Amino acid sequence: MAPAYADELAIARRAAEEAGRFALGHFKTSLTVEYKGDGSPVTIADRGAEEMLRRTLGAAFPADGFLGEELGETSGTSGRRWIIDPIDGTQSFVRGVPLWGVLIALEEHGRCVLGVVALPALGETLWAARGGGAFVNGAPARVSTATTLTDATLLTSDASPRHFGAKHAGFQRLLGQSARHRGWGDCYGYALVATGRAEVMLDPLMNPWDAAAVMPIIEEAGGTFCAWDGTPTIYGGSALAMPAALRAPTGR
């Protein structure tokens, strides 16, 4: 019997890698950078990559809807939708830093059942489907075996007080308990957690298209993904990823 979502996963991987090659063609070039209403940057690479993703996935699954960072929401009739971020980490992308990725997730009746994270400038692609495990470049991906914060590498996309706000004191306590802190953020931070190269990834601000692809990958790799209040959701406005053992009472 074919694994669940095998066709969807194969096409999503191909779509992510094609869009990644397109974006890579614009990487480290003289790009015009525009700024959206929220102050985040966008380029021709972001918009072009999302158009490619929508064409490829839409041709294969015409009844499915879409939610994308750059081109918004398109309704479908199947009860499923693809949630996409054509370049997660545009701040890195426009500065020639290779820690950016192409994100694709399939949401089915409100649950993310599939995720692909392609990191074109690093030559890595991670993927997972519910019940099928998580993989990086074809090899199994597993979270770290650490069970205490004293052994943990903590990652953040942004550690400034203006983003952590009232939770900044709690964040400082968490820093004090962890072995080390690094700013390897955006989707790359979640890739490191899913492959056991870091233990904790925190985001004080998170959109659904940032979270949807990484949630099934983290969970299939043996981790937990939730909003800061502990709810396992991509709609909580924040994110926390770690090995499941670290979330248990003995790991706190």
pLDDT at 169: 67
pTM of the complete model beyond 0.85: yes
Strands 153-156 and 180-182: parallel
- 173, two tokens: 């306590």
pLDDT confidence of 250, banded at 50, 70, 90? very low
pLDDT at 167: 58
pLDDT digits (tens, 9 = 90+) for 120-137: 999 999 999 999 999 999
**CA distance to 6, 13, 27, 30, 71, per residue, from 33 (Å):** 37, 28, 12, 9, 17
pLDDT digits (tens, 9 = 90+) for 45-99: 999 999 999 999 999 999 999 999 999 999 999 999 999 999 999 999 999 999 9
pLDDT digits (tens, 9 = 90+) for 139-193: 999 999 998 999 899 999 875 555 665 556 667 788 888 989 898 889 999 999 9
Query: Is the predicted pLDDT of residue 1 greater than 50, yes or no?
Result: no
Residues 6+ apart with CB under 8 A from 30: none
| Cα–Cα distance for residue pair 9/53, rounded to 1 Å | 13
- pLDDT (average), residues 190-218: 96
Helix residue ranges, H only, 34-141: 44-60, 90-93
